[in-house]
Structure 1
Amino acid sequence: MLPLVLGLGTAYFVVRSLYRVFFHPLSHIPGPKVAAISHAYEFYHDVIRGGMYIWEVEKMHEKYGPVVRINPREVHIKDPHFYDEVYAPASRKRDKDGHFVGVFGFPLSMIATVGHEQHRARRALLNAFFSKKSVQALAESVLQEQEAKLVARLAGAHAAGEVLRLDDAYAALTADTIAQYSWGRSSGFLDDPAFKNDIRAALDEISELVHVARFFPILTRLSRALPRGLLRRLRPAATAVLDMQDMVTQSSTGEKAAGTRGTVFDALRDERVPPQERSADRLEQEGLILVVAGTETTARTLTVASYHLFTNRPLLLRLRDEIRTVMPTPDTEASWSRLEQLPYLNAVVNEAIRLSFGPIFRSTRVAPTEPLTYKNLVIPPGTPVSMSTYFVHMDPEIFPDPASFKPERWIESRGQHLTKFITAFSRGSRNCLGMNLAYAELYLTLAAMIRRFDIELVETGPEDIRIEREMGIGQPRKGDFSVQAKITKILTE
C-alpha cells in the first residue's frame, strides 16, 4: 500500500510540476523553475530563514529582468514607473489576493477586504474622518497635547541623565495620538515610565508570525478561537493583542457624549450602515488595525529622521535655522500648514519617509477583469501581482546613492518630480487611510524636537536601523529596530 501511495504522490508532483512550468497561464513569465514548481522555495527563505525571500526576489530580477514569476501563482514587478498600473485608482478594479490577507489576522477589517467594491464601501465610511481638512481641524490640538507630554518626559530624562529608547518614545506618541484621534481616548503609553506600548508589542507578535500565518492561515483562525487563558499560556506575547482588544471593545461600545466630536466607531455604527457591517467583531478589528497600522510606521519615520539629523550636525543646524523662522522660541506653536511650507523640513520629511519605507511586504493586487501589459509581456486577469516599496525607494536611477540620507535631492531641480516615487503609503484606491494624520505627526513632532533638544545617540549605529529582513515591516538582521539616545541640552532660545 505504501509503495502505491508514494508512487501516486510522486506522479502527482511530477504532473503538477510539468503543468506549472510548461502549460500554466504564467508559464511565459520569466523566473526560476524552482519557484514556479511550488511554494517550497519561498517557504524556505521566508519561514525557515526568517524574512529573507525579498533578497532572493531581488536576485531574480537581476537575472531575469523587471518582471518575474516568484511562485506558482504570483508575478513580481521591479519598475517604479509601473507602480500606478498595479496600484491603480478607484476607476480600475483592484482586488486583494485572498491567499494573502490571512496574514493580518483581522479578516473583517478594511485592510483584509478582498473585493474592490466592498473595500470601497468600507473605506467610504472613514474617508471624511481622515481627510486633510478633518486632520487640520482636529489633529493639531490632539498632537499638541501629546507632544507636550513627550517634551515633558524628555526634559525629565535630561534632568535625570537617563538613556532612553527614542523609538519607544516616538511609538508611545504615535500610539497615543492615533488612539485619541480614532477612539476618543488615549492609550496612555506616554505616561508609562518605560513607554510600555501594547500596540507595539501586538505588532511585534503579528510580525513574528507573519510568514507562518501566510502559509498556514488556519493557525490565525485557531488562535482567535482559543480561550483567552489558554492562549496566554501558549503564546504569552499574545497578551498584548488581547489587552488592546479589550481597550478597543470598551471604546467601540461607549456612547458619544453631547458636545464631543465623534470617533471612528460612531462612523462605523451609523444606522445607515448594513447591520452585518456593524457587528462587534468588525468594529473591534477595524478599530485595532487602524491604531496598529498608525503607530509603528510613523514612529519609525521619526526615528530615522532623528538618527540622521542628530548624527549630522550641519543638517541639524540648517533645519533648526529654518524652523526658527516660524518658531522664534522653542515654545512657539506652529501649525502643520505653516510647517509644510518650509522647503528643507519638507525635504527632511520626504527623505525620512523614503528611508523608513513603511510596510515592505509584497502587497499583492489582482486585476480581476483586465490583463496587465508590461512591454511585450501580458499578465492574465486574476493574477496576483506585487511590488515592493523597498525596491522603489532604493532604485538608484530614481534616487542616486539611495542608501544615503540626502534631503537636498528633494530641493534640487528633480525634487518636485520625486514625490510620485514615494510609495510608503501605497497608491491608488487602497492607499493609506491615515496618511494625512501621519504627515501632521511628522511635521509637528520633528519641528518640536529639533527646536527644543540636542540629542546624542548612545551605542547606536546604522546597523540598528538598517533593513535586512522582511517581516511585514522591515527588521534589522539582529534585534529590534531601535535608537538609544540621551538628551544633552534643552534649548531656551
Structure 2
Amino acid sequence: MWEYISLFVLTYLLYHVLYTFYWHPLSRFPGPPFAALTRLYRAYVDCSPTRSFVHTLDQLHARYGDIVRTGPNELHFHSPAAYLEIYNLKNRWDKEQSLYHSFGEDRSSFGFLTYRESKERKDVLSRRFSKKAVQDVQTTVERIVLDLCQTFEENSSSPIDLLYAFRCMTLDVITYLCFANSVDAVHAPNYEAPIILAMDASIPIFVRFKHASFYKNMIMNCPPGLSKIISPATAGLVDLQTLLKHQIQEITTDPSKLENLPHNTTIYHELLRPEAYKAGTAPSSGSLYEESQALLFGGADTTGMTLMHGSFYILSSPGIYNRLKQELLSAWPILDDRSPSWEELEKLPYLTAVIKESLRMSPGVASPLPRIVPESGAVIEHTPIPGGTIVAHASHFVHRNPDIFANPDEFIPDRWLGEQGRTLDKWLLSFSRGPRSCLGQHLAWAELYLCFGHVFRKFDIEIDASSPKKLEWRDCFLPEYIGPHLRAKMMPVSR
C-alpha cells in the first residue's frame, strides 16, 4: 500500500511541476521558480527577520523585468502605467482574500472583498470623511494639534520621539472623531501610550503569522491573558478593543445611547441610520467592531508616519527647513493672532510641496495591494492577463521611479511647484486610486497641513544626535522601522 501511496505522491508532484512551468496560464511570465511552485515563497520572505517583500520585489524586477510571477497565480508589476491600469475608477475588481482576510476586518470597508459590499459601506461612511465633513470638524483636529504643541513645550528640555508623538496625535484624532472616545495619547509620558506600543508590537507579529491566518485569532480577538503571552505590549491594544466592543454592544442594544456621546458625527451615527441602507439592514455589532478596528489602524499609523518621515528630511536639510519656516512666518506673522485654517494653509505653495514630498517619501502602506482579474481577463501594459489572476503593484515603485521623479531618493519639495509640479499629482499614490482608495484621505490632508503648519511655525527644531542617519524599514504591510526613532529638541519660538 505504501508503495502505491508513494508512487501517487511522486506522480502528483511531477505533474504539479510540469503544469506550473509548462502548462499553467502564467507559465510564460518569469520569476523565481520557488514562487511559481508555492505561495510559501512569500511566507519565507515575510518571516525572515532580514528580508522585506517590497525590497525583494525590487531585486526581482531588476532581474526579471516589469512583470514578475510572484506566486502560482500571482503577478507583480513595476511600470508606473500599470499601477493606473490596475487601480482606477473603471475597475471594480475583487480584493484577494488571503491578505485582506488576515486582518480580522472581513466585514469592514477595508476588508470587504467585492466592489458591491465595499461601495455600500463607503457610500455611508463618506458623509463623515468627505472634504466638507472634515472641514466642519477641523477645529477638533486643530485642538488636538494644539494639545500636541502644548506637550512639546512642556517637554522642551529633552529630545522628543517624533514618531510616537505624531502617532499619538493622529490616534487621538481618529478615536475622538470616529468613536467620541479619545484615549488622550498625546499626554502619555514620553508619548509611549499603551495603544501606540501595542500597534508597534503587532506589526511584526502580523507579518509572521498572516500566512496561517493566525493574526485574526491570536491578536485581534484574543483574550488579554493570551495577548500578554504573545507580547506584553499588545495588552494596550486589547484594552482599547475591549472598550470599543463594550461601546458597540451598548449602542446596538440601545441606540438611544448615541445621544449620550459628546458629538453626533461618529461612525456609529452614520452606520446605524436606517435610511442609509437600501435594504434597510444595519451592520451587525461584529461588523461595527471590525470597521472601528480598520479605521483605528488606518487613521493612526500612516499619517503619523508621514509626519515623522517628512520631519526627518526637513530637519536634515537646513535650506528646506528655513524656507518652510519663512513661508509660515509670512502667512502667520504674529503667533497670538488667529491661526490659519486648513483652507488657508492649503494655499501655501511650499508647505504643500513639502507635504506632497513627505507623502512620496513615506512608505505608507508598503505592501502591494492584490486584486483579482475578472473572468473575462484584462490587458495590463499591453499584455493579456488571464481571468482569475491575482495582480498587484506597490506605490513604492512609482514613487521611487527615476523616469517620473528625478533623483527619487532625495527629498526635493521643489519638484511639486509650478506647472511641472501639477503634472506629477497623478503619480502621488499614497492613498491608492480607484473605488477602493483610502476612505480617510481628506482627514489625513487636514492633519498634515495643520500639524506641519503649527509645529514648524511654533518651534525651532533641532534633530537629536541619537536619531538615525537614514530611515530604514521592513515591509510588514505597514512599515516596521529599523533602528532608533527620530528624536528632536522642540524649542518654542518667542514671536
Say yes or no: TM over 0.5. Answer: yes
Q: Deviations over 1:170-227 (max 9, x none)?
A: 1111100111111122121012122233443343243213333332115633666654
Any residues of structure 2 matched to 1:47-126 within 5 Å, and which? 47-49=47-49, 51-89=51-89, 91-126=90-125
* Alignment correspondent of 1:292: 297
Alpha-carbon distance, 1:485 to partner: 1.4
Q: 1:234 to 1:415 in 2, by over 3 A?
A: closer
The residue identity in structure 1 corresponding to 2:180 is G
Alpha-carbon distance, 1:429 to partner: 0.3
* Alignment correspondent of 2:374: 368
Q: TM-score if structure 1 supplies the norm length?
A: 0.92
- Structure 1 contact 366–382 (Cα < 8 Å) conserved: yes
Distance (Å, rounded) in 2 between the aligned partners of 1:306 and 1:429: 31
- Structure 2 contact 273–282 (Cα < 8 Å) conserved: no
Q: Residue 326 of structure 2 aligns to a residue in which SS?
A: helix
Distance (Å, rounded) in 1 between the aligned partners of 2:158 and 2:266: 37
Q: Residue 365 of structure 2 aligns to a residue in which SS?
A: coil
Query: Mean Cα displacement is larger for which, 335-344 or 1-10?
Result: 1-10
Distance (Å, rounded) in 1 between the aligned partners of 2:46 and 2:6: 28
Query: Mean Cα displacement is larger for which, 30-39 or 403-412?
Result: 30-39
Q: Residue 247 of structure 1 aligns to a residue in which SS?
A: helix
Q: Percent identity?
A: 28
* Alignment correspondent of 2:254: none
- Structure 2 contact 169–185 (Cα < 8 Å) conserved: yes
Any residues of structure 2 matched to 1:409-428 within 5 Å, and which? 409-428=415-434
Aligned length: 485
**Equivalent residue for 1:144, pick from 142, 150, 153:** 142
* Alignment correspondent of 1:381: 387
The residue identity in structure 2 corresponding to 1:119 is S
Q: Residue 160 of structure 2 aligns to a residue in which SS?
A: strand
- Structure 1 contact 66–77 (Cα < 8 Å) conserved: yes
The residue identity in structure 2 corresponding to 1:492 is S
Question: Cα RMSD over matched residues?
Answer: 2.2
Q: TM-score if structure 2 supplies the norm length?
A: 0.92
The residue identity in structure 2 corresponding to 1:281 is G
- Structure 1 contact 171–197 (Cα < 8 Å) conserved: no
Q: 1:237 to 1:153 in 2, by over 3 A?
A: closer
- Structure 1 contact 244–288 (Cα < 8 Å) conserved: no
- Structure 1 contact 177–186 (Cα < 8 Å) conserved: yes
Any residues of structure 2 matched to 1:216-255 within 5 Å, and which? 216-218=212-214, 220-221=216-217, 226-252=222-248, 253-254=250-251, 255=257
Q: 1:328 to 1:217 in 2, by over 3 A?
A: same
Q: Residue 470 of structure 1 aligns to a residue in which SS?
A: strand
Distance (Å, rounded) in 2 between the aligned partners of 1:299 and 1:225: 25
Distance (Å, rounded) in 2 between the aligned partners of 1:445 and 1:486: 17
Distance (Å, rounded) in 2 between the aligned partners of 1:354 and 1:224: 30
Distance (Å, rounded) in 2 between the aligned partners of 1:181 and 1:325: 32
Distance (Å, rounded) in 1 between the aligned partners of 2:395 and 2:169: 25
Q: 1:445 to 1:101 in 2, by over 3 A?
A: same
Alpha-carbon distance, 1:341 to partner: 0.7
- Structure 1 contact 199–292 (Cα < 8 Å) conserved: no
Q: 1:201 to 1:8 in 2, by over 3 A?
A: farther
Distance (Å, rounded) in 2 between the aligned partners of 1:320 and 1:156: 22
Q: 1:173 to 1:38 in 2, by over 3 A?
A: same
Q: 1:375 to 1:184 in 2, by over 3 A?
A: closer
Q: Do structure 1's residue 311 and structure 2's residue 316 form an aligned pair?
A: yes
* Alignment correspondent of 1:188: 184
Q: Do structure 1's residue 210 and structure 2's residue 220 form an aligned pair?
A: no
Which structure 2 residue ranges, 5 or more long, are not aligned? 252-256
**Equivalent residue for 1:328, pick from 322, 328, 333:** 333
Which structure 1 residue ranges, 5 or more long, are not aligned? none
Q: Residue 384 of structure 2 aligns to a residue in which SS?
A: strand
The residue identity in structure 1 corresponding to 2:359 is I
